[in-house]
Structure 1
Amino acid sequence: MGSPTRRRALLAAVATAGLAAALVPLTSAQAATTGLLRVDQVGYAPGDTKIAYLMTSAAVTGETYKVLNSAGSTVASGKVGSASRGNWNSAYPDVYPVDFSSVRTAGSYHIVTSGAASATSPTFKVESAAKLYGTLVADGVNFYQNQRDGSDVIPGALKRKPAHLNDRSATVYKLPNFDTSSDNGDIIKDSSLTRIGGPVDVSGGWFDAGDYLKFTFTTAYADDLLYASARALGSSAPASLPAEAKYGTTWLNKMWNAGTKTLYLQVGIGSGNASGSFLGDHDLWRLPQVDDSDTASADKYAARNRPVFEAAAPGAKIDPDIVGRVAASFALAAQADAASGDTAGATTELAYATSLYAQANTKPGSTLETAAPDAYYPESIWHDAMELGATEIALAQQALGRSRATYLPYLTQAATWAKDYIASDSGKDTLNLYDVSALAHADLVSAIAAAGSPSGLAVTKAGLVADLKAQVASAAKTSAADIFRAGGDYTNFDVDSHSFGFISTEALYRKVSGDSRYAAFAGEQRDWLLGGNAWGTSFMVGAGTTFPDCTGSQIPNLSGSTNGSAPIDTGSVVNGPNGTDNFTGGLGDLQDGMKKCEHDSYTAFTGHGGEYVDDVRSWQSSEQALDMTGSAVLASALQSAAAGTR
């Protein structure tokens, strides 16, 4: 359930200089008037079903195609599908499938069609699933490295520098009063913030998105995905993956004070107050390292002395949606430490997990606290999060060799939460920031098996598997009816996160059931995400030949190299297409300090209620974030791990 109120400041994007080569396919598409070919620009595994899409400005018959290798030799040929898959928009009323599944040899290829609608596709590869998905995993981790805050940054292509060192001694403030009648509900009514504690060390962590806010809710979710990815890949995981997961936990350890039983909710505020006496993070456009030396009075909370907020008063019960995710992160860290032989570290992380889990308010009200304001990340369910937290604690205890009497209570609670989720929440959403049931279900199956399948649990393996199957089957049904096989809703927020979530859920379902009937569906979702869509672009930066260039992030926008070109934020995943209603009224003006960047020609491919705009101002579709990129990392890791079962 993506939220139209997931809002940052209008986020700037990468400058266009030096990226002309990446945009050649788009330029060609603009010039073409009869036909366009859409393919997965990253590539396909040898055994994949391989379908390209020929978009045409009028109905055609008798079209033929050739698949050419890097030497220009034809390796496959045939007829384009004679039946159009449907009308995309008035400019492209027909879309024809091109099945080239016979191409199985590793190499680089492109497709050309001949006839009334001549077209040439971008280049793509056929390679092993390990190589195909391995690149996506490594690139996704690169984004997390670019998002680091504090002293332990990795310079990388974006030339990152230490930032927000003042977070080492931050002040805790009372949650402010927000004006819920404002457009995003994030304008603060108070004339100033009320200090209630501190100083606390909340330095480090990751920026949530293109802004510099740090949220416990999104960091925990992202960290859960990184740990699950590293666990799935085992020894084949790139060294950067477990290291980055540990980096996330290091910050979460600071956000949970087990001694006072205090969980800190976030660092920073998005917007300032109504009177304008102080600003918020979203009101500024700058590199993060300048904040500590910003002496402007209006920027005191936005930059120099960023506020910290509590999820609940010290010792008070905490909303379960955030507790479950953070406890799961600690427990996953414990599992990783146990696997590496660090028993002491595992024991400490497990203690953090159990102490926080015990603080969950399992009778919460109608509003679940995730952020300030909660409109940034409005959550409506929580059984899935508690299922995940209890499950990962049980798995960590099993990994440490704890007794059955120690872990069985958590296993029992996890099963109860799973039952409640299936009864009350199932069918409302699928794997993404707001629903972690797929990961929880699959891991609970593993925990139950490791416990010898004890009797008397509230759910059975069959029930968990059935719910996973229902999630995949529903999306697969949607995909089958879509022109480009999209299983997600590209008229709503977070379609890319959901689509990667489908890929993960298919792999999780296949692992616990042995049923591979939806493997082709997972491949279709990857194809759509990486270029096989109406817009002809990958939605992951650096993946393929055409990808988001004007992403919603200040750092790449302002980190140009000495020759004037701007580096790209490799691995970041943007929101993707969104409902056309979200673009009504235009994109507004550039924020002070932004470098202009726009590729608005994508609007020529608006159709079926979905629009994609790659523009500095297009937070609706060009914003990237921790949760969206984490979804790509998990999907790629799980599919790579599952490749041997096909």
Structure 2
Amino acid sequence: MFSLVLWAGLPLLSFAITVPVTNHWAGGFQARVCFKIDKEMSSWVIHLTFDHPVETIDVWTADAQSTSADKKQWTLTSKNWNAVEHVGDELCIDLMGHGTGDFAPVITATLEGASGGGSHQVATSAPATTQAHHQGVATAAPVHTTPLSVPDGNGFPATTRVSNVRDGRSDHYLTFTISGPTVMGWVVKFRCSKPVHNLNVREADPLSHNADQTEWLLVNNDNQITIKPGTFELKIELELVTGRDSAPQCSATLTNMGVDKHTCGQLPNKANSKYNYDDVLYKSILFYEAQRSGKLPANNRIPWRGDSALNDGDGGVDLTGGWYDAGDFVKFNFPMAWSTAVLTWGLLQFKDAYQAAGQLEWMYESVKWPLDYLLKCHVSDNVLYVQVGDGGVDHGSWGRPEDMKMARPAFKIDATKPGSEVAMETAAAFAAGHLAFKEKDPSYSAKLLQHAKSLWQFAVTHKGKYSDSVSAAAGYYNSANVTDELCWGSLWLYEATKEPKYLEEALKHYDASPDWGMSWDDVFIGNQVLLYELTKEAKYKTAVEGTFREWFPGGTVPYTPKGLAYRLQWGSLRYASNMAMAALMAAEAGIHPDEYRHWAMCQIHYALGDTGRSFVVGFGKNPPVSPHHRSSSCPNLPVRCNMNYLHLDTPNTHMLCGALVGGPDSSDGYKDSRENYVNNEVACDYNAGFQTAVAGLRSLLVRHLHPEQKGGATCPYHGRAP
């Protein structure tokens, strides 16, 4: 149901659609074509026409062939295992094309013999207008996007032998010679010359068959999840519908469902810097798209993700959308709001970086996704939903978000059970969003500011820790205090409005002490930097300097042998990246710009590859391939995904592009294992400060202020804090 073949120019073509190009770069592009099936099909052919020559096409669910000398016409043809389509199905194909130059071709597609239209009839690359952002990701209604299924290029045919033939029954032994990587989840397409009434296989379960029962699809069960390279034998006991005098002639093909040939692609390094910041920004934004919950937009760029958690809510309140927190599927609003505020801060401060990288529209769309969800959560002045999902139940399962069956309770704060820190963090995100969308979408910006003001009033009037009010959050994102967020949220409201009452409230809660380390529960350094930026008073500069004296070499924060400022083992790169971001923001305010930028660069370059390996999935040398992340670890449909896949030592099926893993231990050691959630989990808050810091470094290149351009690019950093 998920493959395509494209042929062009034949007289039986019926209905042409425009195919959206979801990404492009020098030498290639990605596109997704979808058709709604309005007639029964035993095979299918899709014809593609491009306005630019396409040298090669990579497509994993169809056979691709060029049908014209100028390479502008191609066909995609169904595989044996996905040839049958039924009325009401949606046939979606993801493809990657290659050619000369950086081009986004105009593509039209026709499904041979179909009379209806496709799911995408308008191109939906990055939105280009304020109107599109105000109304949603695309002007057309979003469609259900279905995760990628059955990859090609790894089907293994069987040799067969038959024994124990008796009264319409027979035993068929299928021998497969497996090559390549270890199979992680598999299906077998089993075909016989006579109709089969029933079959039994110890290692697999029948999933479906065709109308005359001569073709069966078997999917592995928990008795045999993986198959190592070599010989693998499968015994099938079958019973015929009729013809009991002899055994049928049968054949079979086994397909590895733990393979996804999609890669992240790579943007050109236009700045010619040591590390390709443009590529990192592009991929980090893709990571956030992989974390999306709810109804996905028509321009979804993550082919293995589909709609999920569409019933999130409480008593008629719609709480769909937002981001899944980490490798799990709980929506924790406290770190989500912090991540949104930090990412939007970076968009405001380093907009030139996103423009230079060609990611500005995608970035607006990226931060709007959680902002829209957080708006849904603020249902009245003194009521804010702060969590969807039960952490204990969620963490006890492993699978795809699209398959979730568990109850997902929603938790809220109100006047009787307050939560000043999460209310203020959400207000900060709204205030930052107001500034980001002020020119792009004035009505949306005004709505964000209205909610920011209401939440600010709620937080200062009804003080209390949200983790005391919502016990379900306490074991996962427990709040240490509320004072830093009361200051932080007030500062963002002052930034947005310049009304003195917000600055006055911020000063009541300000703390000049050196910051332990910025995170979702610690914004002290952010307050120090913002106050200096807003007032230029020397005492706030002194506070910032005091924090970084602790963080620079010679301070109280230890360093790994290879130069990482190492605050804590769990998410070590999170703290270093967040403090690098804070240093870059302080430098923008004029505090020791050369030293702070150099130190920040070295911390980020550690994550990008200075130790000999990258800690960002899909980027650089020897990146992680097995992050602790449920949905990317699951094999392709229709294979079931469960806790067994957590414990396999094979790479994740899908590449979680742009995800920053937790990081090394204090000796620079690191184990790339799904079971290693301390060092190898990913999270929305891990990427937030990291991405903003990368944007800061890219902005420095734009303005010719980067350490590489000023002769100060040596790492590890050994200087003392100024």
> Is 1:133 aligned to residue 277 of structure 2?
yes
Higher relative contact order (CA 8 A, sep 6+): 1
Corresponding residue number in structure 2 for 1:343? 442
Corresponding residue number in structure 2 for 1:510? 587
Residue correspondence of structure 1 range 136-285 to structure 2 within 5 A: 136-153=280-297, 155-167=300-312, 170-171=313-314, 198-237=315-354, 238=359, 239-259=361-381, 261-271=382-392, 280-285=393-398
Find 1:358's aligned residue among 430, 435, 457.
457
Q: Amino acid of the residue matched to residue 411 of structure 2?
A: F
Corresponding residue number in structure 2 for 1:434? 521
Corresponding residue number in structure 2 for 1:528? 606
Corresponding residue number in structure 1 for 2:503? 411
Paired residues of 1:499 and 1:529 also in contact (CA < 8 A): no
Paired residues of 2:662 and 2:679 also in contact (CA < 8 A): yes
Corresponding residue number in structure 2 for 1:287? 400
Find 1:570's aligned residue among 645, 657, 667.
657
Corresponding residue number in structure 1 for 2:620? 544
Deviations 1:71-121 (A, max 9, x none): xxxxxxxxxxxxxxxxxxxxxxxxxxxxxxxxxxxxxxxxxxxxxxxxxxx
SS in structure 2 at match of 1:518: helix
CA distance in structure 2 between the partners assigned to 1:129 and 1:386 by the alignment: 39
Find 2:411's aligned residue among 298, 309, 314.
309
Find 1:494's aligned residue among 543, 549, 571.
571
Corresponding residue number in structure 1 for 2:423? 323
Structure 1 unaligned segments of length 5 or more: list them. Answer: 1-14, 22-123, 172-197, 272-279, 399-406, 449-459, 579-606
Deviations 1:515-569 (A, max 9, x none): 2223322222123222333xx4321111212111111111111154999993310
Deviation at 1:438, TM superposition (A): 2.8
CA distance in structure 2 between the partners assigned to 1:165 and 1:158 by the alignment: 18
CA distance in structure 2 between the partners assigned to 1:523 and 1:632 by the alignment: 11
Paired residues of 2:625 and 2:652 also in contact (CA < 8 A): no
CA distance in structure 2 between the partners assigned to 1:562 and 1:199 by the alignment: 32
Q: Amino acid of the residue matched to residue 512 of structure 1?
A: A
Give aligned pairs, total.
Answer: 422
Deviation at 1:481, TM superposition (A): 6.0
Deviation at 1:367, TM superposition (A): 6.2
SS in structure 1 at match of 2:459: coil
SS in structure 2 at match of 1:265: strand
Q: Amino acid of the residue matched to residue 418 of structure 2?
A: I
CA distance in structure 1 between the partners assigned to 2:603 and 2:339 by the alignment: 21
Deviation at 1:213, TM superposition (A): 0.6
Deviation at 1:638, TM superposition (A): 2.1
Residue correspondence of structure 1 range 72-87 to structure 2 within 5 A: none
Change (3 A) 1:132 1:442: farther
Paired residues of 2:663 and 2:679 also in contact (CA < 8 A): yes
SS in structure 1 at match of 2:385: strand
Deviation at 1:125, TM superposition (A): 8.3
Deviation at 1:163, TM superposition (A): 0.8
Deviation at 1:445, TM superposition (A): 3.4
SS in structure 1 at match of 2:350: helix
Paired residues of 2:434 and 2:496 also in contact (CA < 8 A): yes
Find 1:632's aligned residue among 674, 690, 695.
690
SS in structure 2 at match of 1:573: coil
Corresponding residue number in structure 2 for 1:56? none
Deviation at 1:360, TM superposition (A): 1.4
Query: Higher mean Cα deviation, 144-153 or 200-209?
Result: 144-153
SS in structure 2 at match of 1:264: strand
Paired residues of 2:341 and 2:429 also in contact (CA < 8 A): yes
Report sequence identity in percent. 22
Corresponding residue number in structure 1 for 2:550? 474
Paired residues of 2:293 and 2:309 also in contact (CA < 8 A): yes
SS in structure 2 at match of 1:612: coil
> Is 1:614 aligned to residue 672 of structure 2?
yes
Please identify which structure carries the higher strand content: 2
Deviation at 1:126, TM superposition (A): 10
Paired residues of 2:325 and 2:683 also in contact (CA < 8 A): yes
Deviation at 1:156, TM superposition (A): 2.7
Change (3 A) 1:514 1:625: same
Deviations 1:307-336 (A, max 9, x none): 1011x23x3462222122100011111112
Q: Amino acid of the residue matched to residue 163 of structure 1?
A: S
Deviations 1:354-406 (A, max 9, x none): 111111157546965677231212221332212221111112224xxxxxxxx
Deviation at 1:155, TM superposition (A): 4.0
Paired residues of 2:601 and 2:697 also in contact (CA < 8 A): no
Corresponding residue number in structure 2 for 1:90? none
SS in structure 1 at match of 2:586: helix
Deviation at 1:134, TM superposition (A): 2.7
Paired residues of 1:158 and 1:569 also in contact (CA < 8 A): no
Query: Higher mean Cα deviation, 554-563 or 211-220?
Result: 554-563
SS in structure 1 at match of 2:411: strand
SS in structure 1 at match of 2:610: coil
Change (3 A) 1:126 1:243: closer
- Whose Rg is larger? 2
Find 2:681's aligned residue among 615, 618, 623.
623
Q: Amino acid of the residue matched to residue 581 of structure 2?
A: S
TM-score (norm 1): 0.60
Residue correspondence of structure 1 range 600-611 to structure 2 within 5 A: 608=667, 611=669
